[in-house]
Structure 1
């Protein structure tokens, strides 16, 4: 054969080799075409899709995001347990204390800066010491009040004890808000919540005559907005959004007497079908752009150090540098939730 006649053969062999390689690793080729994310439903899903997922898909047109929504982190954990041997989910966004249970059960993979470069920008408070998924959002407990029925806005948690009888809607444990309120009350009393919460339980028991419900429905925001309750506690992100939607009826106060942060982590599922796309999405979720965009959309505090929030957003989120932050060990709390719930039932609700 002449050299000229060999060229098509070489090209053909190269093509066959390429096709053969694709056939051998077809599943590997598929991993970057989609990523399946398990996260919160309703408002969170809407805001996160608009501000983060849509932008991710624009920058990564080769990866399609499938968002699977549930209402709680406990539901997420249950789903991941049932499909542990053959997961359909690649990434989860969930409460850190529930994620910690998943870490212990081998449901999640560790991640590193080699695969997720933006991990280096996550502040210390948001890092996982064991290398599992870091914080992707920070939220904090706030005081809610009805601006039409309350003449003077509260300044902090302590003002709840000055409320009139039957004017409070307080979410009791096992609701996380009730746990956070207990820790803040203990801190204001100068006691260590890990050692003894009896003083806090006694103090919270004094609220009983002032409480109209210990289980606000459908959430804590609507009863206050509609005037069924004058005061409550809530999470800042949702409170800020619902305050805007209430035409000013719902007031939101960052407490002067203690800030309690709640953390959502972003986690790669162990043995995920799409590990490459999962890491790509996690890296984007921790980017400056994604963190700023979601803070503007829903007022979660960023978990990375290189963000620059607008003046308007900055006024409505708690700073991670706030000296009033009360350190709450949510992993420890998850192990004591049942005991605290029992103490609430006996000493607060039934007191």
Structure 2
């Protein structure tokens, strides 16, 4: 969900027919309707949207229509159609990194809080003017207690106890860099502090091509610790991987799956009603119980056991390390080059 779009081609088209063809064609004409088209992921996400959110929106006369695809295709379509009278999507769902990128291109409408009243319950550090936070998790230390002692901070990974027992997921390269930066005094708008410590750690770390490969390595005891989304590690534990979680003292970095109304939405009123339904506490709880991702609203109370397994305390939420959006947009591709050429080799 965090793949980056090379958008230069689409910006170069200037919204022309060529660009629109690359984006999947011209938006289809829609008569005045309460239909709301939501650009979203398929699989469990779409299924749970139909199960928990669509019925709430239907009570407001809004009919949910899913436009299923991967995030790069959705970003392409959003950008290519942004200068048309209407967009084929009323709502786009993206991760926070991807959403920040398309927001910077003025493709989204700001949230009208009077029309999306449930936004009042959103945790303050997850609020943005251009998108609602739908579900979230955060980067934590995930470890096999039979292999390594419990780590309490990212900085612990540089201790001898963990040498040769650390595994990183290659696709989470920017978050591995963020963890290293946090451990060594980095700031939300500058990760340079990560470079020297990561290079010092390079020979003591194994790199795996995917999150699933990291899970297999933990299960086989090839490694003893990694950094990973708590929701993903929760799913691993349910599937028999012998892991526990530790929230780093430096502050966990959240990943938020967001939803936003397109600037040129065909049905803005319906889109606002649907966004409000996405923030309904019961709908949020349904996603948490099924996927392991947390509610973003304070009035969705998790059952005690689930909260202990998935949740973060108020103090931990206040301590979240939230990277600067402008810095991420500007430097992520540069960090990818550094990761591939200097660290991974």
Aligned residue number for residue 155 of structure 2 = 158
Residue 208 in 1 paired to residue 187 in 2?
A: no
Distance 1:139 1:265, change over 3 A: same
Aligned partners of 2:168 and 2:205 also within 8 Å = yes
Q: CA RMSD in A?
A: 2.9
* Residue aligned with 1:266, SS: strand
* Partner deviation per Cα, 1:101-155 (whole Å, 9 max, x = no partner): 2223232212212221212222321222xx31132223200223346x6254433
TM normalised by structure 2 equals: 0.77
Aligned residue number for residue 265 of structure 2 = 272
Aligned residue number for residue 143 of structure 2 = 145
TM normalised by structure 1 equals: 0.76
Residue 289 in 1 paired to residue 282 in 2?
A: yes
Distance 1:47 1:27, change over 3 A: closer
User: Which consecutive residues of structure 2, in runs of 5 or more, have no partner in the other structure?
Assistant: 1-29
* Residue aligned with 2:264, SS: coil
Q: What pairs up with 1:118-267 in 2 under 5 angstroms?
A: 118-128=118-128, 131-146=129-144, 150=147, 152-161=149-158, 162-165=161-164, 167-172=165-170, 175=171, 177-192=172-187, 194-195=189-190, 197=192, 199-216=193-210, 218=212, 220-227=214-221, 229-244=223-238, 246-267=239-260
CA distance in 2, matches of 1:63, 1:195: 43
**Shift in Å, 1:254:** 2.7
User: Which consecutive residues of structure 1, in runs of 5 or more, have no partner in the other structure?
Assistant: 1-25
**Shift in Å, 1:209:** 1.8
Aligned partners of 2:215 and 2:241 also within 8 Å = no
CA distance in 2, matches of 1:158, 1:193: 17
**Shift in Å, 1:36:** 2.0
Distance 1:107 1:144, change over 3 A: same
CA distance in 1, matches of 2:296, 2:60: 26
CA distance in 1, matches of 2:48, 2:162: 34
Distance 1:90 1:319, change over 3 A: farther
* Partner deviation per Cα, 1:202-246 (whole Å, 9 max, x = no partner): 1112222233325236554344345454332211222212321x2
Distance 1:48 1:250, change over 3 A: farther
* Residue aligned with 1:139, SS: strand
Distance 1:142 1:274, change over 3 A: same
The number of residues matched between the two structures is 310
Distance 1:155 1:43, change over 3 A: farther
Aligned partners of 1:169 and 1:232 also within 8 Å = yes
Aligned partners of 1:135 and 1:303 also within 8 Å = yes
Aligned residue number for residue 311 of structure 2 = 317
* Residue aligned with 1:263, SS: strand
Aligned partners of 1:89 and 1:269 also within 8 Å = yes
Q: Provide runs of 4+ in structure 1 moved above 6 Å.
A: none
CA distance in 1, matches of 2:60, 2:321: 42
CA distance in 1, matches of 2:204, 2:47: 35
Greater mean deviation of Cα atoms: 341-350 or 107-116: 341-350
Aligned residue number for residue 331 of structure 2 = 336
Distance 1:111 1:317, change over 3 A: same
Distance 1:266 1:320, change over 3 A: farther
CA distance in 2, matches of 1:181, 1:241: 20
Aligned residue number for residue 72 of structure 2 = 74
**Shift in Å, 1:158:** 3.1
**Shift in Å, 1:268:** 0.8
**Shift in Å, 1:333:** 1.2
Aligned residue number for residue 106 of structure 2 = 106
Distance 1:300 1:228, change over 3 A: same
* Residue aligned with 1:75, SS: helix
